[in-house]
Amino acid sequence: MKHFLRKTSSLTLACTFIFSAFSGASAAPSSKDAQPELAPLYGKYNLNSSHVTKVIVELKEPSVLEAKKKGQKQTKSNLKSKRDAVVKEISTRAKSYKINNEYDHVFSGFSLEIPANEIPDLLAVSGIKAVYPDVEYHTTGEDVSDASFDEVTPQMMNSAPFIGANKAWESGYTGEGVTVAVIDTGVDYTHPDLDQAFGDYKGYDFVDKDNDPQETPKGDPRGAETTHGTHVAGTVAADGGIKGVAPDATLLAYRVLGPGGSGTTENVIAGVEKAVEDGADVMNLSLGNSLNNPDWATSIALDQAMSDGVVAVTSNGNSGPNNWTVGSPGTSREAISVGATQLPFNVFTATTTSSDGTSYASSAVQGFPSDEALLALNGKDFELIDVGFGAPADFAGKDLEGKIALISRGAGIPFVDKATEAKKAGAVGAVLYNNAAGSMPLIPGMAVPTIMLSQADGQALLAKSDDVTVRFGIQSAGAVGELMADFSSRGPVMDTWMIKPDVSAPGVNIVSTVPTHDPANPHGYGAKQGTSMASPHVAGAAALLLEAHPDWGVDDVKAALMNTAEDLYNAKGELYPHNTQGAGSIRVVEAIETETLVTPGSHSFGVFSKTKGKEVRGEHFTIKNLSPTAKQYTFDVDLEGVKVTTSKNVKINGKSAKDVRFNVQVDASKLAPGYHEGTIRISDGSKLVEVPTILFVQEPDFPSITHFSATDLGNNNFSFAAYLPASAEKVELVLYDAEFKKSFGVIGTYENLPKEYNYFDWDGKISGQNAAPGEYRVVAFSYRGAKEDYRFTDIITIR
């Protein structure tokens, strides 16, 4: 492995908002009498429950890297001594507890299982700095289709060449000597496209606690088999039937997500720590959760990894296309968060006609796996099979081989999942109709060609689906350039107001390596889509940059990718907002060859809250001139309605850097409340660097509820946790059946709720009567002024 210069990141962790379920936990007492200061408690808990809960405990004693960053010396033996002292004190306070993972390198602390009602006792333990939630993480990629080796064609593998990786290879940069850690579901390191990337040491499995970080096999009693990490690894460094972005990079695998592709904070932190200690130069985390607020424990780990010179790359989430949908760890301040794009594609129109002569005017193409699969529907008569909402159970016992699945939108099932189930059942296509007035989004890369209809047309076709066949007319309607995927999560980040993603990369219908879990033919290829697929493109690109510039630090790599990214425009030719695309779509060669680096690569000025008069904020950025000769830089700031003052020009000698300061002045009376974005343009006379900027005037227009979950307390009693990013005037809980076909009414109404996690208990009764046994979902409707939002739980079961 080459030794790359590891430089400290210029950004620092600054958590100024505490979401505490324990009143007063973060404030020191103000009375004259000496009182112990309680550690802050972050996250969501029901402190009245004896239910065993996992938390992450951070110690006051700094981690190895935190101490190093401060110029202090820290040893693991000293940390163990401090940790043992804290555990000893916990043993005198807690009736029952269990220590799981222990951390000392990127994070100082441990994961702990303890009854929720004993968590407050932790906060008075002298050596504890903070207590964080152990939240659940999932992969951020979905299956589109599988392919045999013979079906893998260059047309299926154009994402790496699209970002310029092949041109980098021609210049001799292939990732050789760079180690990339894949923190995921494990990796099938025996795959013939990947085996060359692994040495004798493969990594570590934090799920089964051994040195064999393989994917979850088929038949595991704990849950479904996995393929996700192998797909991610292939995008980084495959070299065989397909070629990854950095085909000569060295891989390490850390299995932190187990059966079904889920895991928790404790293993994610452990994976980050182990990857840093094992000498990774780059790490990829194609995983996330739905919480748009900093997941502090994971953020600390990623920030410390970056401070030690490890480039951390993570997916932004798949909850788009609305703003404020980015999830942790994409919310990290330091890591490179990645959004997903769709490569340029052909556009088609579609007519749908039933055999009784009826034509459906709303017919349009929603998504398809390939041009060939879509055009194969032309001029044929197909039987229709009604499969309701397209849940797996809706296909049971139905013959769809060679037929068209007729599917309703709804029941909380993603469009791609409906199409995937149709493919599994043997359908050659799907007609997906709306369940409400309005239009549906285009969803590229669906598993089967999918034609969408309006609610009225869909219901009309459904009424006679047993008696008619359908015929489609598919015609070419031109082509569009690279687009943001609708599913790609958007920023900004709650409370830090940062732009996320930082950059974007291809993430739709990406073909890569997968295990087949078939002993007779164990190695294959599959198409997946999601920000999980976009992130490893950036991790691979980072490996190429480090090979080309072994003296670069993490800030240099991040800046190069952001500064040289390509602006993206929607199908109408309109520039995507910063919080949709970040700085744009990465371009590898431009990043390698850049002569100017501007850090940080984006700016958020936060919230300007004065209602009268002017408010001024100061900021700065650093310009590095990498060329051997002096350059004169000029500045242009496009931020409408905002006065920006900065140097008119700056001269920077070759191989030198300079800080540039600037002020932003906002006059509240002249600028409308809300979200404002702009661009700082920095030119050396021949090349232009664009730095995205955002600011908010008055209260940002963020959702009134961003998280809602259920905990089964047993005996048909449930506790619900809702995160409100601002105070809510009212929250109503409404009970539905599992597929949202029927509402059973309001089961709780709450008024004047504070900004924090709020908890609501339900005894399983409706109007005083026990709810009938079955599967349900609960929807929380939150009201804040004119803002109304809702979130719903996973399925809960009444027994």
Question: How many Cβ atoms sit within 10 Å of the Cβ of residue 461?
Answer: 21
Distance in angstroms between the alpha carbons of the first and the last residue of the chain: 57
Active-site annotation holder among 488, 532, 709, 782: 532
Q: Which of 547, 590, 543 is nearest to 565 (CA)?
A: 590
Look-up of token digits 């030198």: 656
In this structure, the strands spanning 311-315 and 282-285 are: parallel
Q: Assess contact for 508 and 447: CB atoms under 8 A.
A: no
Residue type at 339 in one-letter notation = G
Q: Which of 491, 438, 436 is nearest to 703 (CA)?
A: 491
Cα(353)–Cα(471) distance, integer angstroms: 5
Map residue 315 onto helix, strand or coil.
Answer: strand
Q: Assess contact for 450 and 367: CB atoms under 8 A.
A: yes
Q: Assess contact for 677 and 693: CB atoms under 8 A.
A: yes
Is 537 among the catalytic positions? Answer: no
- H/E run at residue 226: none
- Residue 740 φ/ψ region, left for φ over 0, alpha for ψ in the -120 to 50 degree band, beta for the rest: left
Residues contacting 49, CB < 8 A, separation 6+: 115, 116, 117, 711, 713, 719
Look-up of token digits 């964080």: 132
Is 184 among the catalytic positions? Answer: yes
As a three-state string, the secondary structure of 547-602 is HHCCCCCHHHHHHHHHHCCECCECCCCCECCHHHHCCCECCHHHHHHCCEEEECCC
Look-up of token digits 């664009």: 690
Cα(345)–Cα(481) distance, integer angstroms: 7
- Supply 619's token pair: 């900021």
Q: Cα angle vertex 413, ends 408, 414, to 5°?
A: 100
Residues in the chain: 799
Active-site annotation holder among 105, 138, 228, 549: 228
Is 159 among the catalytic positions? Answer: no
Torsion sign, CA atoms 383, 388, 390, 395: negative
Residues contacting 326, CB < 8 A, separation 6+: 292, 316, 317, 319, 337, 489, 490, 491, 492, 493, 500, 501
Residues contacting 144, CB < 8 A, separation 6+: 369, 416, 420, 445, 446, 447, 509, 526, 527, 528, 529
Residue type at 719 in one-letter notation = S
Cα(793)–Cα(762) distance, integer angstroms: 14
Q: Is 412 exposed, middle or buried (0-12, 13-18, 19+ CB in 10 A)?
A: middle
* Active-site annotation, residues: 184, 228, 532
